[in-house]
């Protein structure tokens, strides 16, 4: 493994993707970029993914993104550096985390590496933090020597995506070969640094360069791809086990479909629901919607922020980071009154003829199991139920009805269900439930959710009408127990 760090909170808005791959981040604290809001957002992400937090002070120059040297008085420079670090300290304390290190930004980073005068002032500015925060420095630099003399704890930083001159300074950004973007070149660059403590400079020489951490610039155009590929490359085999399920399939340009084994079983359902819960809990801004079904989740994402491959990589990473099983939301068992009277059970006769079952046996077999809601679809509030007794597996009607009444309870092949509204349908109708399965006046229009259970309870015609009246008046509460 390698130690990766990234400059963040600089307005690229890709931290949500980068953070799960980083060991450390350097957070812009108002000098060259960043404000209280971005600091909060990035610190929260760093906390979530246990990423070391660094303060990333700069010359106070939003306009030039801190990439131009500034001539400030000693007093001015000290004041701005301390203010910037204080900004971040205030934010991290609210999140109950700590700053790990300080890393100067841009022109300031380059200046303190070369100029003794600037380095002395900078170290003076941060001397109050000496015992608490580490300092990122480039190897063989002016600041490195001074910092060590003054007993700062230094961390050697090398740049994963930058070329080096023979004197181990960075190739100026004004030159075309300053930044490395080819993944292979970056991997080879890092491998040399890691294995030999040397860097191959632009003249082809190998020069000693110590590195404890590698920086990838979050504003390099393929920063996400670089970080993901580095993670894949430098993660050892044993850490890198991709489970067989779910599989990842592209669905249009903004859909990613996760699919599990092609079976409607509780094992698969719970995997699906667990992944759904994890995705929802992650609260990723780039995920716009998650649509759950029996053995799949369709993730609708913001294709302007992330591509399919990066999203797959990210999700695999997140699922491996958060591989512990999590608690599913509370599951309820709902008691659904059904009247199986011949008035509603218009196909009961047909079923008694097709099978050897009596009406009483059909009702008994239908009310005996506790069914599980696998998903909701087809119509608003239509529950896909698992658990129908094999003896009640009856083919759909050869000609569908143009109108099946709201509340109709039917059997179609291996499934049973309730029509939440009057609609055309081909299922064998055995009864009717007086409940509303989709009520637009409720904040939660459908009381049940995937994972919940359903128990059908036979009621008489008289009871049916009583319940229907109570439902109509808004005075009926569906009976439920927590499972």
Partner 1 sequence: MLEIVHSGLHTSIQDLGRLQYRNVGVPVAGFMDEYHAKLANQLLGNDENAAVMEMTLQGATVQFHEATQIVICGADLSPKLNHQAIRLNVPVAVKKGDVLEFGKRLYGVRTYLAVKHGFQTEKIVQSRSFYDGITPKATVSKGDIILYQTNSNPVMARANIALQQALFTDTDIHVYAGPEFDFLSKSQQEKLFSIKFSIGLNNRMAYQLEERIANDCPSIITSAVLPGTIQLTPSGKLIILMKDCQTTGGYPRILQLDQKSIFKLAQKYTRDTIQFKKLSIS
Binding site for partner 1 (CB under 8 A): 249-253, 255, 257, 259, 262-264, 288-296, 298, 307-308, 375-382, 384, 420-421, 438, 440, 445-446, 449-450
Q: How far is the CB of 38 from partner 1 (least distance, A)?
A: 27
C-beta of 274: minimal distance to partner 1 in Å? 15
**What is the closest distance, in whole angstroms, from the C-beta atom of residue 90 to partner 1 in the complex?**
35
- For the bound state, the minimum distance from the C-beta of residue 424 to partner 1, rounded and expressed in Å, comes to 12
In the complex, the smallest distance separating the C-beta of residue 270 from partner 1, rounded to whole angstroms, is 16
CB 480 to partner 1: min, Å: 17
Cα separation of the two ends of the chain: 44
Q: Give the angle 200-203-207 at the CA atoms, nearest 5°.
A: 40
Residues β-bridged to residue 156: 137
**Which of 241/262 has CB closer to partner 1?**
262
422 vs 460, beta carbon nearer partner 1? 422
**Cα–Cα distances in Å, from 100 out to 5, 34, 55, 244?**
12, 19, 8, 38
Which contiguous run of DSSP H or E holds residue 258? strand 255-259
Nearer to partner 1, 26 or 276 (CB): 276
120 vs 300 by CB, closer to partner 1: 300
Residue 55, classed as helix, strand or coil, is strand
DSSP string, 138-188: -TT-HHHHHHHHTT--EEEEEETTB-B-TTSPBPPTTSTTSB---HHHHHH
Q: Which is nearer to partner 1, 220 or 292 (CB)?
A: 292
Residue 267: CB atoms within 10 Å:
10
CB of 417 to partner 1, least distance (A): 11
Nearer to partner 1, 337 or 451 (CB): 451
For 342, other C-beta atoms within 10 Å of its C-beta total: 11
State which residue, 119 or 264, has the beta carbon closest to partner 1.
Answer: 264
CB of 440 to partner 1, least distance (A): 5
Nearer to partner 1, 290 or 458 (CB): 290
Question: Is the separation of the CB atoms in 333 and 370 below 8 Å?
Answer: yes
Dist. CA 380–CA 70, nearest whole Å? 63
322 vs 378, which CB is nearer to partner 1?
378
């Amino acid at each position: 493994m390698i130690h990766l760090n990234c400059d963040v909170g600089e307005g690229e808005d890709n931290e949500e993707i980068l953070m799960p791959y980083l060991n450390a981040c350097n957070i812009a604290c108002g000098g060259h970029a960043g404000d209280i809001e971005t600091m909060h957002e990035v610190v929260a992400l760093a906390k979530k993914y246990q990423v070391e937090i660094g303060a990333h002070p700069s010359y106070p120059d939003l306009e030039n993104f801190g990439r131009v040297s500034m001539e400030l008085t000693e007093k001015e420079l000290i004041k701005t550096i301390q203010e910037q670090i204080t900004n971040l300290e205030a934010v991290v304390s609210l999140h109950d985390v700590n700053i790990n290190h300080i890393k100067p930004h841009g022109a300031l980073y380059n200046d303190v590496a070369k100029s003794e005068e600037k380095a002395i002032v900078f170290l003076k500015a941060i001397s109050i933090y000496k015992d608490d925060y580490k300092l990122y420095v480039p190897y063989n630099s002016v600041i490195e020597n001074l910092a060590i003399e003054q007993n700062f704890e230094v961390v050697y930083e090398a740049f994963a995506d930058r070329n080096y001159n023979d004197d181990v300074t960075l190739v100026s950004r004004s030159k075309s070969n300053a930044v490395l973007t080819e993944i292979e070149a970056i991997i080879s660059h890092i491998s040399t640094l890691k294995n030999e403590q040397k860097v191959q400079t632009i003249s082809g020489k190998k020069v000693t360069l110590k590195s404890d951490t590698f920086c990838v610039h979050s504003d390099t155009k393929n920063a996400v791809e670089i970080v993901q590929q580095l993670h894949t490359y430098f993660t050892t085999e044993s850490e890198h086990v991709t489970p067989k399920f779910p599989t990842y399939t592209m669905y249009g340009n903004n859909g990613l479909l996760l699919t599990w084994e092609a079976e409607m079983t509780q094992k698969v359902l719970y995997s699906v629901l667990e992944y759904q819960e994890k995705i929802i809990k992650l609260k990723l801004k780039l995920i716009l919607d998650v649509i759950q079904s029996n053995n799949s989740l369709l993730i609708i994402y913001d294709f302007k922020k992330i591509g399919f491959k990066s999203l797959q990589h990210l999700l695999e990473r997140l699922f491996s980071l958060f591989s512990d099983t999590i608690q599913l939301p509370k599951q309820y068992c709902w008691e659904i009154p059904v009247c199986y009277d011949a008035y509603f059970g218009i196909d009961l006769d047909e079923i008694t003829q097709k099978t050897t079952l009596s009406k009483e046996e059909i009702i008994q077999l239908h009310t005996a199991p506790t069914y599980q809601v696998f998903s909701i679809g087809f119509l608003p509030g239509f529950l896909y139920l698992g658990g129908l007794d094999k003896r009640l597996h009856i083919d759909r009607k050869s000609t569908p009805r143009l109108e099946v009444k709201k509340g109709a309870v039917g059997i179609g092949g291996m499934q049973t269900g309730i029509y939440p509204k009057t609609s055309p349908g081909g299922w064998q109708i055995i009864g009717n439930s007086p409940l509303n399965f989709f009520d637009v006046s409720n904040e939660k229009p459908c009381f049940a959710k995937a994972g919940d259970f359903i128990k059908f309870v036979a009621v008489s015609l008289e009871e049916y009408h009583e319940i229907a009246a109570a439902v109509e008046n808004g005075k009926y509460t569906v009976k439920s127990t927590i499972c």
